[in-house]
Amino acid sequence: MTTTPLRTTNRYLSGSFAPVTEEVTAHDLPVTGRIPAHLTGRYLRTGPNPLGVEDPAAHLWTLGEGMVHGVRIRAGRAEWYRNRWVRSAAVADRLGEPRRSAAVADRLGEPRRGAPVDERTDFAPNVQVAGVNGRTFALIEGGLKPYELTYDLDTVGPCDLGGTPEGYTANAHSVFDPHTRELHSLAFRYGSDAVQHIVMDDTGAVRRVTTVPAPGSPYMHDFALTDRYVVLYDSPVVFSAAHLGTGVPFTWDDTHQARVGVMPREGGDVRWFEVAPGLVGHTLNAHQDGTDLVIDVVRHPEGFDIRDFGTSRPTLERWTVDLTAGRVREERLDDRIQEFPRINSRHTGRPYRYGYAAAVELYAPAAGPDDHRPDEGFSSALLKHDLLRGSTEAHEFGRYGAVGEGVFVPAESPTAEDDGYVMAYVHDPGRGAADLVILAAQDFTGEPVARIHLPVRVPLGLHGNWVPDDASAG
């Protein structure tokens, strides 16, 4: 029997986005197919999962407390699945209330984790989860603190990863350069007219900081890195004090020029180039080609409402910055609506051929209680782009197989850029639960190499990573 999550009037509290209400631990997960034997580590992904919503109609998806979902893999076995809320002070307090609900077990007086944090800026990070030097961190942006987690995803407490005297910290889209073993962040703070480029070594220690003026307080969610440059995106989505009460204090400003900035990695002046109005959601990759910079991005179109991303139609574009002539050529690489682009991270900032993304599709509203079409959101496909040939393959997971970000993991001894696997959580409507699906990237449309069957549903979320046990960063 096909089952779908409960539908409400808010798309982010229903369908494939609906939050789960329990923390679960399961061991020795069943597997269909065969997990590649060399995989030893954890597949981690996070996203908003609100503990409670006072006004469902006004709820914004990005305001949900972060919950991390993880699968531990070793020797061809899926040893465990765990999901855990990140214990900010407010989350620990809520989970400490006796019998908060029938769905959450008693946790009498659950203690707060770590050193106290100003409660005005304390939040359970919900954007990214990553490994750095054998440690695990839940990350967010806007100057809010990262939280450290244990290997088993319990909360250690807030931390200062990448922290600077001005109060900036590592942001949700920190980029690890595998060639220099540096960890780069472009961090902003809500309402500030500057951002900071923070460079850390692979232990997380700060090496250098460059402050970059950002007039108008634009929302800089992501950035790009090449072997010589840092690439910044200045967009018409800007800080708005009038929207502070909404929890997402940004709005579209038609008078703010969209620009792309190029700065030397060691710091210095930024060269700015005008581009068409829009917001860069995420970077696929960037690299230098002679005197040109090639920057591949997913761009949301003009007028993007950051409080309701489900109404947007982002596409994959290439910006070629001619550093000699001082101009940018913009072109559409793929017309399909998509987000959450990823690459083989060994090619970060260097020439590359392949990229991966989650397809995004707007479904028509349900016609009635017997119409189980999913709400607007991610569709049931992962995409593989061959940027040399200009072609795209799609792995379809079926009408209700909602799939999020796909993460590329290299094969044990790769012989090509796409010799490896793409891993993602995919909804199985027949079970009403999720699978961790492992695709062979070189046989992208073929049957999955393995499906690890989780005991519960994993809501559509944001970002994550494969964190091998022997990795020190990235």
Task: Give the neighbor-by-neighbor strand order of the sheet with 155-158.
Answer: 128-132, 135-139, 147-149, 155-158
Q: What is the pLDDT of residue 241?
A: 86
What CATH number should be reported for the domain holding residue 242? Answer: 2.120.10.30
Buried b (16+ CB within 10 A) or exposed e, 29-59: bebeeebbeebebbbbbbbbbbbebeeeeeb
Q: Is residue 357 part of a domain?
A: yes
Provide the sign of the torsion angle of the four alpha carbons 394, 15, 308, 406, taken in this order: negative
Please give the pLDDT value at position 108.
40
> What is the predicted pLDDT for the residue at 471?
62
pLDDT for the residue 361 = 67
The band of 158, judged by pLDDT with boundaries at 50, 70 and 90, is: very high
Which tens digit of pLDDT belongs to each residue from 436-471? 999 999 999 999 999 999 999 999 999 999 999 986
Q: What is the Cα–Cα distance from 458 to 6, expressed in whole angstroms?
A: 14
Q: Residue 420 falls within a domain, yes or no? A: yes
Average pLDDT over residues 213-229: 96
State the residue range of the domain holding 135: 11-468
Query: Does residue 411 form part of some domain?
Result: yes
Rounded to 5 degrees, φ, ψ at 198 are: -110, 125
Query: Is 51 inside a domain boundary?
Result: yes
Residue 183 lies in a domain: yes
Scored b (16 or more CB within 10 A) or e, 87-124 reads: bbbebbebbbeeeeeeebeebeeeebbbeebeeeebbb
User: How confident is the model over 80-125, as pLDDT tens digits?
Assistant: 999 999 999 999 988 876 544 444 444 445 888 888 788 778 999 9
Contact (Cβ atoms closer than 8 angstroms) between residue 145 and residue 122: yes
* Total domains, the chain: 1
The arithmetic mean of pLDDT across residues 261-266, rounded, is 97
Question: Is 1 inside any structural domain?
Answer: no
5 inside domain: no
Please indicate, yes or no, if residue 106 is contained in any of the structural domains. yes
Per-residue model confidence as pLDDT tens digits over 316-370:
999 999 999 999 999 999 999 999 999 999 999 999 999 999 998 654 444 444 4
